[in-house]
Amino acid sequence: MSPETKENPIEYRRTAIIGEELKDDINIISGFGTYRENSKIFSKYVGFVKEKDNIIYVSPLNSVYLPKKDDFVIGQITRSGYNNWSVDINSPFEAMLPIYEIREYVKDGEDIEKYYKIGDVLYINVCAVTKSRFVNVSMKNNACKKLYDGRIIPVMPSRVQRVIGRQGSMIKLITQKTGCNITVGQNGLIWIKGENTELAIKAVRFVEKNFIERQLTKKLEEKLTNNEF
């Protein structure tokens, strides 16, 4: 994905509560969502803990996408196996795409990278989520597709519906005014492609920032019409 999203899949180990001691190690760096007292590192938030390259982070729970069955999300292939692909869906829980969940017929023993390879970006359907958060995704729905080129920007998953708008009004407005192709994932990733990509991004950011305002669609239309970004 673009640098504005994760280049590598996030590996969350566990959840933490505010003030919970995460590490007692002077060699570990206190990253986002944490603070240090002497050799100990504590969590600032209720959220998911990640440790990588000797840095420990906590991602707040309200900014994390938790997969739900029937969601449509944007994901990136991170690994291909014998009969499935691993997909980063911007969540603490990596998803699995089995070969029986794609439209194409795959012959036994066939190289599955013929269909999807590492780095491919997909608009994909969450078809199953277990109690232990094992996630399966599917490409069988007609709305699912591979996304080529374009830009991918993250927004808070809790504000995705505001970006879409009632009956899709907000995203239709941005599409019409910018001429861009836009695909919104319920996991907080938005794919944008077109000559006015930067304008579309500014519009999305405006909605995300001002999500609690009334008559937001009207205000956005005025800004786009009057070129006030």
pLDDT of residue 5: 40
pLDDT of residue 194: 97
pLDDT of residue 11: 44
Domains, the chain, ordered by start? 12-62 (2.40.50.100), 72-147 (2.40.50.140), 151-225 (3.30.1370.10)
Could you tell me which residues come within 8 angstroms of residue 68 by beta carbon, excluding any fewer than 6 positions away?
A: 126, 129, 186
| Whole-Å CA distances, 25 to 42, 53, 59, 114, 203 | 11, 14, 20, 46, 44
Distance CA 151, CA 163 (A): 17
For residue 121, count other CB atoms closer than 10 A to its CB: 25
Report which of 203, 222, 199 is spatially closest to residue 211, judged by C-alpha positions.
Answer: 203
pLDDT of residue 196: 96
E strand segments, the chain: 12-16, 21-24, 29-30, 34-37, 40-43, 47-52, 55-60, 72-80, 84-88, 95-98, 121-129, 135-138, 145-147, 151-154, 181-184, 189-193
Per-state percent for the chain, helix, strand, coil, to nearest 5: 25, 35, 45
φ, ψ of residue 49 to 5 degrees: the values are -95, 135
Question: How many Å from the N-terminal Cα to the C-terminal Cα in the chain?
Answer: 26
Under a CB-based contact definition with an 8 Å cutoff, are residues 220 and 171 in contact? no
pLDDT of residue 6: 39
Report which of 187, 105, 113, 193 is spatially closest to residue 147, judged by C-alpha positions.
Answer: 193
- Residue by residue, pLDDT tens for the chain (229 residues) are 433 443 333 444 577 888 999 999 999 999 878 999 999 999 988 778 888 788 898 877 667 888 999 999 999 999 999 899 999 998 888 899 999 999 998 888 888 999 999 999 999 999 999 988 899 999 999 999 999 999 999 898 989 999 999 999 999 999 999 999 999 999 999 999 999 999 999 999 999 999 888 899 999 999 999 988 8
pLDDT of residue 33: 84
φ, ψ of residue 207 to 5 degrees: the values are -65, -45
pLDDT of residue 13: 52
Distance CA 104, CA 122 (A): 15
pLDDT of residue 133: 83
pLDDT of residue 68: 94
pLDDT of residue 62: 67
Could you tell me which residues come within 8 angstroms of residue 53 by beta carbon, excluding any fewer than 6 positions away?
A: none
